[in-house]
């Protein structure tokens, strides 16, 4: 019995030492984790910024709210808006991307945005892009999604990143849901502009925004027999005065953020002689349909004698082509709207 008692006593002492060891190990582990938490806190550098106000004015066509005054699209701000402010170094690489927010009355042409500027006290260059960029994997930045003619999400600018010089840009045809409607332009037209860096010392920023997109307004008149039938698509094909296809419109491209190379973003693009807009409505009973085609212009230089042809797919039949010839040299500009009046006849 004495031997059993001694054995139990030894077991109790052994268990006590084991528990003490485990408790000590757990305490050490918790202490290590706390130290690691502190280490993580202090090793993650926080970017300090300066609260600022940015005043943005609109120049040219924009995505917000539209009204067609006959010569262009009158633009206004919505009640709540967001804008991205991008700081560039001397080589025009992106150093910082900050989001500024504005709230106010819908219908404004000038808006005051507030946010925190992290580009430093003396940045080389600053630009603004509207609407605000979204962050996704990478991290990389892109403009908000719009729906292409198939209903899939696409992005005008994407793959922008800190340290990068460019955004990738892919243009897809869009669908207009109803006659003389602008809703399909939302989040499709992108604005940009150079920010006045001299204002930073006063904790203010100012920018005049211009559009990356050009709008082609097509006023199409159809034969009597096509009234009320499905209007599927209208195409534009561009030719020079030697009847050769010319790449007026940009397809896949890149967009430089260097404002010195262009008042908008400097485009480097593959060119296409063809652009189109899809329709989600029938030819009105008036026989006249008005469509707004947003495009990125690769080269806007048009010479006298160059011409565009317009073809329509209506009720599964092709009407046209209708030829429109330029009688003088012109330059098609970004941020502007151009109207083409086209009359289709029976095939």
Q: Is residue 311 situated within a structural domain?
A: yes
Spatial neighbors of 87 by CB under 8 A, at least 6 apart, are 94, 95, 96, 97, 98, 117, 118, 119, 120, 123, 125, 126
SS3 at position 236: strand
CA–CA distance, 78 with 35 (Å, rounded to integer): 49
pLDDT at residue 59, as a whole number? 61
pLDDT for the residue numbered 336: 80
Give a yes or no: residue 130 inside a domain.
yes
Is 47 within the bounds of a domain?
A: no
pTM to 2 decimals?
0.75
Q: Tell me which residue range forms the domain holding 75.
A: 52-343
Q: Average the pLDDT over 172-195 and give the result.
A: 83
What is the domain count for the chain?
A: 1
Residue 18 in domain: no
Cα dihedral 199→200→206→208 (10° resolution)? 100
- pLDDT mean across residues, the chain: 78
Q: Dump pLDDT digits (tens) for 107-157.
A: 777 788 999 999 988 888 898 988 899 998 889 999 888 888 888 888 888
Residue 148 lies in a domain: yes
Q: Is residue 298 part of a domain?
A: yes
**197 lies in some domain:** yes
Over pLDDT 90: what percentage of the chain? 33
In a domain, 42, yes or no: no
Q: Name the pLDDT band for 45 (thresholds 50, 70, 90).
A: very low
- CB of 129 within 8 A of CB of 123? no
pLDDT of res. 137: 80
């Amino acid at each position: 019995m004495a031997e059993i008692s001694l054995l139990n006593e030894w077991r109790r002492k052994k268990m006590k030492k084991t528990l003490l060891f485990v408790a000590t190990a757990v305490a050490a582990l918790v202490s290590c984790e706390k130290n690691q938490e502190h280490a993580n806190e202090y090793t993650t550098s926080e970017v300090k910024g300066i609260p600022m106000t940015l005043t943005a004015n609109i120049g040219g066509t924009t995505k917000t709210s539209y009204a067609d005054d006959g010569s262009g699209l009158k633009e206004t701000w919505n009640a709540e808006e967001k804008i991205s402010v991008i700081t560039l170094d001397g080589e025009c690489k992106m150093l910082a991307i900050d989001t500024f927010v504005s709230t106010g009355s819908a219908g404004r042409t000038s808006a005051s945005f507030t946010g925190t500027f992290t580009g430093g006290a003396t940045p080389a260059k600053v630009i603004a892009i509207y609407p605000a960029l979204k962050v996704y994997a990478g991290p990389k930045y892109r403009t908000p999604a719009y729906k292409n003619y198939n209903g899939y999400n696409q992005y005008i600018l994407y793959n922008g990143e800190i340290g990068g010089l460019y955004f990738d840009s892919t243009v897809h045809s869009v669908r207009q849901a109803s006659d003389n409607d602008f809703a399909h332009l939302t989040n499709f037209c992108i604005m940009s502009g150079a920010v006045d860096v001299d204002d930073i010392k006063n904790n203010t920023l100012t920018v005049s925004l211009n559009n990356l997109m050009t709008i082609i307004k097509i006023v199409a008149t159809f034969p009597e027999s096509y009234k009320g039938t499905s209007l599927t698509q209208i195409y534009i094909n561009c030719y020079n005065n030697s009847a050769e296809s010319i790449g007026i419109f940009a397809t896949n491209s890149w967009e430089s953020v260097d404002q010195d190379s262009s008042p908008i973003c400097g485009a480097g693009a593959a060119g296409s002689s063809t652009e189109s807009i899809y329709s989600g409505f029938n030819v009105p009973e008036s026989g006249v349909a008005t469509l707004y085609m947003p495009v990125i212009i690769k080269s806007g230089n048009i010479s006298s004698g160059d011409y565009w042809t317009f073809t329509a797919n209506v009720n599964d039949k092709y009407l046209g082509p209708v030829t429109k010839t330029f009688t003088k040299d012109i330059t098609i500009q970004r941020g502007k709207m151009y109207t083409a009046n086209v009359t289709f006849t029976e095939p």
